[in-house]
Structure 1
Amino acid sequence: MTDQVNTRGLALEFLLEVEKGALSHVALRGMLERYQYLDKQERAFLTRLCEGTLERRLELDAIINHFSKVPVKKQKPVIRNLLRMSVYQLKYMDQVPDSAVCNEAVRLAQKKGFGTLKGFVNGVLRSIARGIEEISFDDLSICYSTPQWIVDQWVEEYGKDKAVRMLADQYVEKPVTIRINETKTTKQQLKARLESEGVTVQEVDGMDCALAISGFDYLRALSSFREGLFHVQDVSSMQVALTAAPKEGDICLDVCAAPGGKSLHLAELLHGTGLVEARDLTDYKVELIQDNIDRSELTNIRAVCHDATVLDESWIGKADIVLADLPCSGLGVLNKKNDLKYRMTPEQQQELVELQHRILDIVWQYVKPGGKLIYSTCTVHKAENVETVDWFLKTHPFLLKKEIIMLPGVDKYDGFFIAGMERKEHD
């Protein structure tokens, strides 16, 4: 590695940015785009150090607190995050020598203007390096670096055995899954194209429209991506359009669509017929959808800015399919969004349940009699999933036709919930 100090310095900047409120996946993507000149090995080191330090934060803090006289919460942000990323290297990155971790941390502390604390940093890290193998934690929250309220909720709703498997799934390395744009290419053609670009490609069991890719450096550097031959999408998420099963000529409305993967899937399944209107709340989100539409070159889909909580009378009774993939706590995808567990609170989760009810109360009106409403979330919280559907069916003229519950670590893919409902012919 040509410049580990610089790479570690970038990791420290990332951690400070996230602590100030930046979304981790956005901050990391932006950093990797800015520093494309780093070689593949450095980028891999940087990515792992950033993501690993973030996702293991509670455990790292517990280790630091065990060895430091100054508790983590009382440390300066630079020192706190410098210690976290150093302890992550000591515990989880065996190829990095302990002496290098300690020396580079001291150097970075001095470079950041904390030379007076370099003795503290050095002393704490060398104590941890000597004693890290001797400490362990029984507490599930610390072991899996997941806030206690989430652990309690999962144990209550799914039992301890399943909860532990769900918690452990956050740390399982998974390939990126992509959905083939079958309007532009075939699975075999795309597989050959990706392999020619140096990408490792695997089949995905039971999903003809999907492939799993790994070994690539930077997604946007792949010409196959820029040409719209595929879209990055988890297999769980692909089930949404497959559950909707549009028939040619259907009019479809996706009320919370960004970044547009499910909408595009619907449009592809329509084989150039019908229409998909993909909506979201802000111009920024609509631009994300439009960017993906432009790459795909599909002509039967449009992006529109609209607030799903506001009734659009022009759509009442017009849609064959309404897709409501609604804002949720996101706790089914912690494997991909490693700071989400720290940002979410029980109070916010309850507010999201209320928002889901409010949106469903509006958007069901767009469904034709005999048409379909597909409700989905990327969470595992029952109040946002089965309980919301139970409430909806008691108060609206729909029948439940299909319900899919996927739990991370228990089922093969990300945590996801899908309910396929049909509007009664007569309310």
Structure 2
Amino acid sequence: MAGNPDRGMENRGIVLDILSEVLDKGSFVHLVLNQALQKYQYLDKSDRAFITRVTEGTLEYLLQIDHIINKYSRTKTDKMKPLIRNLLRMSVYQILYMDRVPDSAVCNEAVKLAVKRRFTGLKGFVNGVLRTISREKASLVFDSPSLAYSIPQWMYDMWEKEYGSAKAEMIAASFLEDRPTWVRCNLSRALREAILKSLDSQGVMVKELDCLPSVLAISGYDYMEGLECFQNGWIQVQDATSAFVGELADPKEGDYIIDVCAAPGGKSLHLADKMKGTGMVEARDLSYQKTALIEENVARSGAANIKAVVWDALVPDEDAREKADIVIADLPCSGLGIIGKKPDIKYNMTMDKMRELSRLQRDILSVVWQYVKPGGTLVYSTCTIDPMENEGNAMWLSENFPLEPVDLSGRLGEDFDEPSLKDGRIQFLPGIHPFDGFFISVFRRV
């Protein structure tokens, strides 16, 4: 770690605090990490990159790391002081996966941090465990893909059953790979060429998508808020799979659209952009906190044909019945498709929670389909790869309500011409497709 020698311990202290907040208090890693990076924005880019990598890496490999610690420590992780447990976890990640940081430095910094946090009596324990793991790391062997990819066994077994061994391993491996940030260009605000030129002027690396010209994969930037394009409302952070929702919804100018669980507003803004300032998108969500996120993005984008509304999707809105040309129902889900971005999901999700979410989705869908006018469109989507929440609920919709699947063949270009598109749906799988996991189904009200 270059620069001030105290920076190394200070950076590790920040990581330790983030991990304690996530692992011991149940906070969401993406929120806690973002808050920390904003708080310490004065740090060098390399320092913030270190904090991000060690935080995310420790969480990505948590099951594997605990397995290793338990192999070489007489005191098992579940019996340790929480701070010492997290200190060992983040240090083991550095020893195993960060070649640029010497193992001796990792051990020394961990001991110093233990002393600084008033665990002087455990500095010998911390040092002994870490130096043993450092000596033995070349001989480590993981006897199951679940352990190798740090995925709970029940979850890996489920993927094997649903998708086969080869795809299950590709899915699990993909969650440990580096991924770019996807952004969508607000083409009603700026020409694509101007956006590309602006990004290039700030040294941002850009990868373009043939099937989605308005979507870019960007990397190599310092922080999003520092990009001219973001400040000007020319780009919106939105995963490519999420942008497919707007493409398949296919709004016409002048449409009235209701997005029932819209925060932070990416899909709503995309639809507003596609209507070129005409019509209206009503972006609803459960609380003022959530609609505030929508309003913040709307203000930055400058879109005039969108409004944020606080509304519980489970509560019927009689005034909206049969009024909407399009209803977007991107609903709360298990999130198994975005584990690569939110690794804490895999440790907090259970089969019981997935069943509860599937029931919640049906409860919401049974209300909001009624807002679609005859001949109008309902789009149901999730960011999971769980068939119960996805194909299961899509089939339930067409069996129980006057909704028929829309043939989507050829709508996503040659690269994504899946057979299921004929039946009105597509499941994107991480590792098989170059995106997060995501499910989209499209219906027409009969």
Q: How far apart, CA to CA, are the structure 2 residues paired with 1:295 and 1:396?
A: 38
Q: How far apart, CA to CA, are the structure 2 residues paired with 1:264 and 1:420?
A: 19
**Alignment counterpart, residue 352 of structure 1, candidates 338, 341, 357:** 357
Q: How far apart, CA to CA, are the structure 2 residues paired with 1:150 and 1:291?
A: 36
TM-fit CA distance, 1:230: 0.4
Q: How far apart, CA to CA, are the structure 1 residues paired with 2:35 and 2:66?
A: 26
Q: How far apart, CA to CA, are the structure 1 residues paired with 2:206 and 2:165?
A: 35
* Equivalent position of 1:313 in the other structure: 318
2:151 pairs with 1:150:
no
Q: How far apart, CA to CA, are the structure 1 residues paired with 2:325 and 2:281?
A: 10
2:141 pairs with 1:136:
yes
Q: How far apart, CA to CA, are the structure 2 residues paired with 1:5 and 1:248?
A: 56
Counterpart residue identity of residue 177, structure 2: V
Counterpart residue identity of residue 429, structure 2: L
Q: How far apart, CA to CA, are the structure 1 residues paired with 2:330 and 2:184?
A: 18
TM-fit CA distance, 1:169: 0.6
Map Cα deviations across residues 32-69 of structure 1 (whole Å, 9 max, x no partner): 00001110111111110010001110000011011101
Q: How far apart, CA to CA, are the structure 1 residues paired with 2:326 and 2:120?
A: 62
**Alignment counterpart, residue 443 of structure 2, candidates 409, 421, 424:** 421
Q: How far apart, CA to CA, are the structure 1 residues paired with 2:431 and 2:269?
A: 28
Aligned length: 424
Flag as ranges the 4+ runs of structure 1 deviating above 4 A: none
* Equivalent position of 2:405 in the other structure: 400
Counterpart residue identity of residue 9, structure 1: G
Counterpart residue identity of residue 426, structure 2: I
SS of 2:187's partner is coil
Counterpart residue identity of residue 58, structure 2: T
**Alignment counterpart, residue 14 of structure 1, candidates 12, 15, 18:** 18
Q: How far apart, CA to CA, are the structure 2 residues paired with 1:179 and 1:85?
A: 34
Q: How far apart, CA to CA, are the structure 2 residues paired with 1:27 and 1:142?
A: 26
Counterpart residue identity of residue 376, structure 1: S
The within-5 A match list for 1:332-411 is 332-401=337-406, 402-411=424-433
* Equivalent position of 1:117 in the other structure: 122
Segment of structure 1 superposing worse, 214-223 or 355-364? 214-223
Map Cα deviations across residues 294-339 of structure 1 (whole Å, 9 max, x no partner): 0111111000000000000000010000000011000011111111
TM-fit CA distance, 1:141: 2.1
TM-fit CA distance, 1:197: 2.0
Q: In 1, are the aligned partners of 2:263 and 2:284 still within 8 Å (CA)?
A: yes
* Equivalent position of 1:102 in the other structure: 107
2:65 pairs with 1:60:
yes
The within-5 A match list for 1:5-404 is 5-19=9-23, 20-401=25-406, 402-404=424-426
Q: How far apart, CA to CA, are the structure 1 residues paired with 2:386 and 2:257?
A: 27
Q: How far apart, CA to CA, are the structure 2 residues paired with 1:147 and 1:331?
A: 12
Counterpart residue identity of residue 11, structure 1: V
Q: How far apart, CA to CA, are the structure 1 residues paired with 2:348 and 2:225?
A: 28
* Equivalent position of 2:417 in the other structure: none
2:26 pairs with 1:4:
no
Map Cα deviations across residues 369-396 of structure 1 (whole Å, 9 max, x no partner): 0000000000000000001111111110
Counterpart residue identity of residue 22, structure 2: V
Q: How far apart, CA to CA, are the structure 2 residues paired with 1:24 and 1:410?
A: 26
Segment of structure 1 superposing worse, 57-66 or 195-204? 195-204
TM-fit CA distance, 1:14: 0.6
Q: How far apart, CA to CA, are the structure 1 residues paired with 2:38 and 2:372?
A: 42
Q: How far apart, CA to CA, are the structure 1 residues paired with 2:445 and 2:71?
A: 58
SS of 1:332's partner is helix
SS of 1:171's partner is coil
Segment of structure 1 superposing worse, 212-221 or 368-377? 212-221
TM-fit CA distance, 1:87: 0.5
> Once the two structures are aligned, what percentage of the paired residues are identical?
51
TM-fit CA distance, 1:257: 0.3
TM-fit CA distance, 1:198: 2.5
Counterpart residue identity of residue 398, structure 1: L
Q: How far apart, CA to CA, are the structure 1 residues paired with 2:210 and 2:36?
A: 34
Structure 2 length-normalised TM: 0.94
Counterpart residue identity of residue 191, structure 1: L
TM-fit CA distance, 1:140: 2.2
Counterpart residue identity of residue 127, structure 1: T
Q: In 1, are the aligned partners of 2:375 and 2:444 still within 8 Å (CA)?
A: yes
Q: How far apart, CA to CA, are the structure 2 residues paired with 1:350 and 1:86?
A: 36
TM-fit CA distance, 1:193: 0.7
TM-fit CA distance, 1:213: 1.0
Structure 1 length-normalised TM: 0.98
Q: In 1, are the aligned partners of 2:333 and 2:354 still within 8 Å (CA)?
A: yes
TM-fit CA distance, 1:266: 0.5
SS of 1:85's partner is helix
Segment of structure 1 superposing worse, 202-211 or 316-325? 202-211
Q: How far apart, CA to CA, are the structure 2 residues paired with 1:93 and 1:123?
A: 20
Unmatched segments (≥5 aa) in structure 1:
none
